[in-house]
Amino acid sequence: MSEKTSAAKRAAELRQQLEQANHRYYVLDAPEISDAEYDQLFSELQQLEAANPELKAPDSPTQRVGGAPSPMFAAVRHRQPMLSLRKAAIDLKAEGRELQHAELIDFDRRVREVLAKAAVDYIAEPKLDGLAVSLIYEHGLLVQGATRGDGETGEDITQNLRTIRSLPLRLRGEVPPLVEVRGEVFLPLAGFQKMVRDAEARGEKPPVNPRNAAAGSLRQLESVITAKRPLAFYAYGTGVSEGWTLPVRHRDVLDQLKAWGFPVSELIQPVTGAEGCLAYFEAIGEKRARLPFDIDGVVFKLDDLAGRSELGSVSREPRWAVAYKFPAEEAVTVLENVEFQIGRTGAVTPVARLRPVFVGGANVSNATLHNMDEVQRKDVRIGDTVIVRRAGDVIPEVKEVVLAQRPADARVVLLPPSCPVCGGAIAREEGEAIARCTNGLSCRAQLHGALIHFVSRKAIDIDGLGEKLLALVIDALDVRTPADIYLKLDAAKLAALERMGEKSAQNLVDAIDASRNTTFGRFLFALGIPVVGETTARDLAQHYGSLTALLAAAEADLATEHAEKKKERFPLLQSVTDVGPTVAASIAHFFAEPRNRAVIDTLVKPREEGGAGIHWPAPKAAAEGALTGKTLVITGTLPGLSREEAAALIEANGGKVTGSVSAKTDFLLAGEAAGSKLAKAEKLGVPVLDLAALRGLIG
Ligand code: IVH
């Protein structure tokens, strides 16, 4: 085959794949390939067509932007085309900052060349992952709202857009006879998660991502359905206008939009040059995981509007703006096997072994499948082609299976009949998603996990006793329970271990010794009671004040375990803040287990009597102050104060800090990038304070 015919064949193949993907994404709302894979195919086709101009066809997916409008809604011809954005990609495999960001640096260079300027100001905006819309206001009144469609023609969704509360139906202040405002409709994560839960509860297929959920919500034929969806809107530009003089800079446009009453993202900032762009990009990348909505990159736009006309656009992409996307977080690969890991509470976690794939800036060969319910829900089989997702620092996960590519010999994943580590029995309680190895600390995997948790910084806090060393002391020094750390380790034995000097052995012994003096809350957290986190442990400690009191309550509650109503089970434990029936059951069962009681007894028994000698100060009476009797929840990043410091400040003034917002919460202390807790507080009418307001209250 000649080079030309093979290029033609490949181009036809790519077109067919891309059209199929477009159809599934835009029309069926059921994508089969990841965005990253789509982008990859798209740019391959673009390059082929550029190298072989005779291959360009009017029906190529590269010749249009977006999907065709649905016949369900009236068509709206945009008076000014809604452009698309040129994309620049990071090359993570390149060496050095300069080469990795070469495409962005090139963009800035071209802009500077055309404008003949040494340095250029841009406005950096988050690239929201939603849908672009056009809103026409006549004499301040919203008269028409449309989707972007293919950029030329969109769909009239005025009724649906009117249901978005943050979108002004009438402009404030001085208004021109006509102005078109453009922006993005999107679904914040809390709303998305709710839609997923609701769909699952109804037994329907949940939306695959916030963007699809937003698209589905906006394109409802009945706007009452749209109205129930928590859609949000940010304005980022204008289109046609009459009787309004376009300002000189984009930042002035944004100010005008705010003055008219539009929400404009707080994250938008002016920056200078490629360096400024990069600094912004990196800073927002850090914040990204904490934002209450999904963003998939940053848009850099030339601030000077006259400069924009000079630059113009090429094939519907302006040369004055660029979309700089975060590295692909999704990739397609083959699931080669499923293995089972045992966690510190015995939880059996299925782990996917993958054909290695580069995603989100790293090579990934393992991904979590969470639990067997998830395996079944996603219908994952060995041999399947799967979409792997990696968001920020979190563990990569198998997002979904590409069913169309399932091989005939794909194998169903089965829970192993016994623990792969210790051979113990595996049990799955009724109604529980998680199967567990029942061997407790006799299972080496559980023992290792339990010890890692026990010594961790927020638990008993033994500095210098890491995962590797713990594995070593289990095998070489016969450590079988957390109490053995205190009973079986001494400087001589530790110094004899591989790669341990006398000095570090002594340091470790000192650290172990220091950890004997702790707090009741830390001790409870260190025990590793399933589903009892740091906050609940602290709440339990505060509520009961002593181990004896807690054990007595747990024991008394056991009698109510089978009560008809959930609320009547474990009533004593459930009276503790944020403890519901599930957590209460876990606590009661943990303390009822003789093996656990034996370890606890040894841990707290004085050293003279052969115990580990862990102790803590008697409970202080709660402080009195401006916040006495008040319950607060902390969320977001507080300026110059860690969460622990904020909690201490509240407690020192008599207040109580809990983990989740409920009707009983008196105040929410919210910092930057507050998410679902803020939304919940607003919904429940819980007053929200910033740090300054809190300090004001305390005086
Ligand atoms: S400006 C030429 N600004 O990205 C200007 N678009 O790839 C085009 N988007 O259709 C739009 N955040 O859906 C612009 N801050 C932002 C954006 C943004 C997200 C989306 C929008 C648009 C697509 C273009």
Residues recorded for the chain: 699
Q: Determine the 3-state secondary structure of 400 from DSSP.
A: strand
208 or 219, greater pLDDT: 219
Q: Determine the 3-state secondary structure of 73 from DSSP.
A: coil
Angle between helices 691-698 and 643-652 (to 10 degrees): 20
Sequence-distant (6+) residues with CB within 8 A of 278 are 97, 101, 104
Ligand 1 pocket, residue 184 CB under 6 Å = yes
Predicted confidence (pLDDT) per residue in 270-286, tens digit: 999 999 999 999 999 88
Q: DSSP secondary-structure letter at 687?
A: -
Selecting among 9, 87, 93, 127, the annotated active-site residue is 127
Sequence-distant (6+) residues with CB within 8 A of 588 are 554, 555, 557, 558, 561, 570, 573
Is the confidence at residue 566, as pLDDT, over 80?
A: yes
Dig out the tokens for 227 from the structure: 């109205």
C-alpha of residue 269 to centroid of ligand 1, in Å: 16
Dig out the tokens for 517 from the structure: 């003096």
Q: Is 420 exposed, middle or buried (CB count within 10 Å of its CB: 0-12, 13-18, 19+)?
A: middle
CA angle 194, 196, 199 (to 5 degrees): 105
Q: What pLDDT score does 361 carry?
A: 63
Q: Which residues of 439-475 are buried (b: 16+ CB within 10 A; e: fewer)?
A: bbbebbbbbbbbbbbbbeeebbbbeebeeebbbbbbe
Q: What pLDDT score does 392 carry?
A: 56
Is the confidence at residue 148, as pLDDT, over 90?
A: yes
Predicted confidence (pLDDT) per residue in 22-80, tens digit: 667 654 557 788 878 888 898 899 888 888 888 876 667 776 433 344 457 888 999 99
Rg of the chain, C-alpha, whole Å: 30
Is the confidence at residue 377, as pLDDT, over 60?
A: yes
pTM summary value:
0.53
Q: What is the mean pLDDT of the chain?
A: 90
Cβ–Cβ under 8 Å, residues 184 and 234: yes
Give me the amino acid identity at 577.
T
Q: Distance (Å, rounded) from C-alpha 434 to C-alpha 286? A: 32
Share of the chain above pLDDT 90, in %: 62
Which of the listed residues 268, 291, 299, 313 should we mutate to test ligand 1's pocket, taking the one with most ligand atoms within 8 A of CB? Answer: 299
Q: Distance (Å, rounded) from C-alpha 694 to C-alpha 650? A: 9
Contacts 24+ apart (CB under 8 A), 347-354: 347/371, 347/434, 347/435, 347/436, 347/530, 348/372, 348/415, 348/416, 348/419, 348/426, 348/434, 348/435, 348/436, 348/437, 350/375, 350/413, 352/380, 352/386, 352/398, 354/386, 354/388
* Residue 550 backbone phi and psi in degrees, to 5: -65, -45
Cβ–Cβ under 8 Å, residues 186 and 128: yes
Q: What pLDDT score does 603 carry?
A: 98
Q: What pLDDT score does 69 carry?
A: 44
Q: Distance (Å, rounded) from C-alpha 659 to C-alpha 689? A: 16
Q: What pLDDT score does 66 carry?
A: 34
Cβ–Cβ under 8 Å, residues 68 and 155: no
- Span 592-615, average pLDDT: 96
Q: What pLDDT score does 10 carry?
A: 92
Ligand 1 pocket, residue 294 CB under 6 Å = no
Count CB atoms within 10 A of the CB of residue 208: 16
Q: Which residue's CA is the closest to the ligand 1 atom numbered 13?
A: 132
**C-alpha distances out from residue 88 to 21, 236, 298, 327, 580, Å:** 22, 20, 10, 11, 49
Ligand 1 pocket, residue 321 CB under 6 Å = yes
Q: What pLDDT score does 225 carry?
A: 80
Q: What pLDDT score does 597 carry?
A: 96
Ligand 1 pocket, residue 128 CB under 6 Å = yes
Q: For 673, what's the count of Cα atoms within 13 Å in the CB-facing half-sphere?
A: 14
Is the confidence at residue 534, as pLDDT, over 80?
A: yes
User: Worst-scoring range by mean pLDDT, 198-212, 262-276, 517-531, 580-594?
Assistant: 198-212
Which of the listed residues 86, 236, 271 should we mutate to test ligand 1's pocket, taking the one with most ligand atoms within 8 A of CB? Answer: 236
Ligand 1 pocket, residue 127 CB under 6 Å = yes
Predicted confidence (pLDDT) per residue in 683-693, tens digit: 999 999 999 99
Dig out the tokens for 562 from the structure: 């089978």
Q: DSSP secondary-structure letter at 54?
A: G
Locate the ligand 1 atom nearest the alpha carbon of residue 130 and give its number: 13
Q: What pLDDT score does 644 carry?
A: 84
Locate the ligand 1 atom nearest the alpha carbon of residue 321 and give its number: 2
Q: Which residue's CA is the closest to the ligand 1 atom numbered 7?
A: 85
Predicted confidence (pLDDT) per residue in 149-203, tens digit: 889 999 999 888 988 888 888 898 899 999 999 999 999 988 888 888 888 788 7
Is the confidence at residue 393, as pLDDT, over 70?
A: no
- 258: pLDDT confidence band, cut at 50, 70 and 90? very high
Q: Determine the 3-state secondary structure of 268 from DSSP.
A: coil
Share of the chain above pLDDT 70, in %: 96
C-alpha of residue 227 to centroid of ligand 1, in Å: 24
C-alpha of residue 58 to centroid of ligand 1, in Å: 24
Q: Is 64 exposed, middle or buried (CB count within 10 Å of its CB: 0-12, 13-18, 19+)?
A: middle
Cβ–Cβ under 8 Å, residues 230 and 244: no
Q: What pLDDT score does 662 carry?
A: 86
**C-alpha distances out from residue 172 to 138, 164, 571, Å:** 13, 17, 54
Is the confidence at residue 204, as pLDDT, over 50?
A: yes
Is the confidence at residue 206, as pLDDT, over 90?
A: no
Angle between helices 102-115 and 273-287 (to 10 degrees): 140
User: Highest mean pLDDT: which of 107-121, 184-198, 394-408, 568-582?
Assistant: 107-121
Predicted confidence (pLDDT) per residue in 292-305, tens digit: 898 889 999 999 99
605 an active-site residue?
A: no
Count CB atoms within 10 A of the CB of residue 165: 12
Q: What pLDDT score does 415 carry?
A: 93
